[in-house]
Amino acid sequence: MKKTLSDIDAAAIRGRTVVVRADLNVPLEAGRITDDRRIRASLPTLRALIDAGARIVLLSHLGRPKGQRNPDLSLAPVSRRLGQLLGCPVSLVPHVHGAKAVGPVESLPAGVIALLENTRFLPGETKNDPELAAAWAALGDLFVNDAFATAHRAHASTVGLANAMVARRRKAVAGLLMARELRFLEEVLRMPERPFVLIIGGAKISGKIGVISELLPRVDRLLIGGAMASTFFRALGLDTGASLVQEDSIRVARGLLEDGGERLVLPVDCIVAQEVVEGAEARAVSRTDVSGEDKILDIGPESRARFTDMIERSRSIVWNGPMGVFEIDAFAKGTVSIAHAVANACDAGALGVLGGGDSAAAAEHAGVVDRLTHVSTGGGASLELLAGASLPGVDSLTDC
């Protein structure tokens, strides 16, 4: 168990400077934030620190500037949005580290957040440069890592900073979001109430094979949808027409079918169309009737009924990946019904955890986010954790 911000006595941080690594890596289009979910998810930790009277130095990366200053990837829009949401001043420090960053941080009045510019403007960030990490650690007396979505990477502002803070005999603790993510993901893995159902979908099977093989022996049902199902159809010897298939994963899929037996549930029918566009002519067909130019773009009505029934009867649910191309209405029904089924199960007391950026967007689209037990903010990190890997960003924190 790792120490979290809740284990720290508020009196011990009053007037102190706390270095916080959040994940404010939001999507931008022409300098505008198109989805501020990650900023909102970071608010509880920041509010708790403000209430405790701490001074806050905040770090985050944004996009992939590859170690170079890039004005298009400045945290300026994030700084403004964070200030609005928090209702307190956020001052963007244009320097990422060094003396020019230290000055503004030291003159910071209590209650003002100093947000340092994009950590990935420096090449040392992704190389986990210990000197860079030590410079950041020297800015404060406590490190709070709330960036769950980057916990599967060892970078200077995460692992390096935690190590540097501990080397200064100070603490590195999990923020409230990080703690919440770990609590729900670990809870569902440790002693899942049964039936335990894993739902996997999305475009690529390769990134999710780890989770499937790790959890397949532990779940009661593994429901497969999305483009991934087409790879499994091929493993069964079926024709998938022009569907997206990962040829190099067919063999792995065959092995999983053998291991999973009847626990592994594939769609029996699908929605096909020849074009992946709004208004395309879509048909529901049996999985044995796909051919030619047809592309499988969603699970069919019979599969929807089977999947939702199994989901609504389960007590623990992990869901990652949409059932179809939900971005287009004609192919969204499968994903939306699954989202409602998971929400219904949660209403009836099941533990339902959703991971994956696109799946979270789909759940939002279906209007069920508030009914789910937990929607993870970290796609890659949650998949690694579910696949049984340890996360360096978590391992580097102070033990209880």
Residue 221 is a catalytic residue: no
Cis peptide before 392 (omega within 30 of 0): no
The secondary structure of the chain in percent helix, strand, coil, rounded to multiples of 5, reads: 45, 20, 35
Catalytic residue among 2, 21, 38, 221: 38
Minimum CB separation of residue 207 from Mg ion in Å reads 9
How far is Cα 315 from Cα 350, in angstroms, rounded to an integer?
Answer: 4
Classified as helix, coil or strand, 172 is strand
Nearer to Mg ion by Cβ, of 117 and 181: the residue is: 181
Nearby residues of 34 by Cβ (< 8 Å), 6 or more positions away = 26, 27, 28
Q: What is the dihedral of CA 117, 120, 126, 128, to 10 degrees?
A: -20
Residue 204 is a catalytic residue: yes
Q: What is the number of other CB atoms lying within 10 angstroms of the CB of residue 263?
A: 16
Out of 181, 294, 358, 384, the only residue in the binding site for Mg ion (CB under 5 A) is 358
Catalytic residue among 63, 263, 357, 371: 357
Q: Contact 321/225 with Cβ under 8 angstroms?
A: yes
How far is Cα 252 from Cα 137, in angstroms, rounded to an integer?
Answer: 44
φ, ψ at 161 (rounded to 5°): -65, -40
Among the residue ranges 21-29, 34-42, 352-360, 392-400, the one whose residues contact Mg ion (CB under 5 A): 352-360
Nearer to Mg ion by Cβ, of 175 and 202: the residue is: 202
Nearby residues of 95 by Cβ (< 8 Å), 6 or more positions away = 101, 104, 116, 117
Minimum CB separation of residue 357 from Mg ion in Å reads 5
Nearer to ligand ADP by Cβ, of 182 and 383: the residue is: 383
Residue (of 264, 1, 41, 259) closest to 148 by Cα position: 41
Minimum CB separation of residue 24 from ligand ADP in Å reads 19
Minimum CB separation of residue 288 from ligand ADP in Å reads 17
Out of 44, 67, 94, 357, the only residue in the binding site for Mg ion (CB under 5 A) is 357
Nearer to ligand ADP by Cβ, of 155 and 295: the residue is: 295
φ, ψ at 293 (rounded to 5°): -85, 0
In the list Mg ion, ligand ADP, none, the entry touching 308 (Cβ below 5 to 8 angstroms by class) is none
Binding site for ligand ADP (CB under 6 A): 202-204, 226-227, 244, 296-297, 320-322, 324-325, 327, 356-359, 379
Q: Contact 73/63 with Cβ under 8 angstroms?
A: yes
Q: How many residues bind Mg ion (CB under 5 A)?
A: 2
Residue (of 191, 147, 199, 202) closest to 392 by Cα position: 147
Nearer to Mg ion by Cβ, of 55 and 374: the residue is: 374
Among the residue ranges 185-193, 241-249, 254-262, 351-359, the one whose residues contact Mg ion (CB under 5 A): 351-359
Among the residue ranges 26-34, 115-123, 292-300, 358-366, the one whose residues contact Mg ion (CB under 5 A): 358-366
Residue 241 is a catalytic residue: no
Q: Contact 235/257 with Cβ under 8 angstroms?
A: yes
φ, ψ at 354 (rounded to 5°): -115, 130
Q: What is the number of other CB atoms lying within 10 angstroms of the CB of residue 353?
A: 24
In the list ligand ADP, Mg ion, none, the entry touching 244 (Cβ below 5 to 8 angstroms by class) is ligand ADP
In the list Mg ion, ligand ADP, none, the entry touching 324 (Cβ below 5 to 8 angstroms by class) is ligand ADP
Nearer to Mg ion by Cβ, of 312 and 358: the residue is: 358
In the list ligand ADP, Mg ion, none, the entry touching 227 (Cβ below 5 to 8 angstroms by class) is ligand ADP
Residue 100 is a catalytic residue: no
Nearer to Mg ion by Cβ, of 311 and 383: the residue is: 383
Catalytic residue among 69, 204, 315, 371: 204
In the list Mg ion, ligand ADP, none, the entry touching 257 (Cβ below 5 to 8 angstroms by class) is none
Minimum CB separation of residue 321 from ligand ADP in Å reads 4
Residues of this chain that interact with Mg ion (CB under 5 A) are: 357-358
Q: Which are the catalytic amino acids?
A: 38, 204, 357, 380
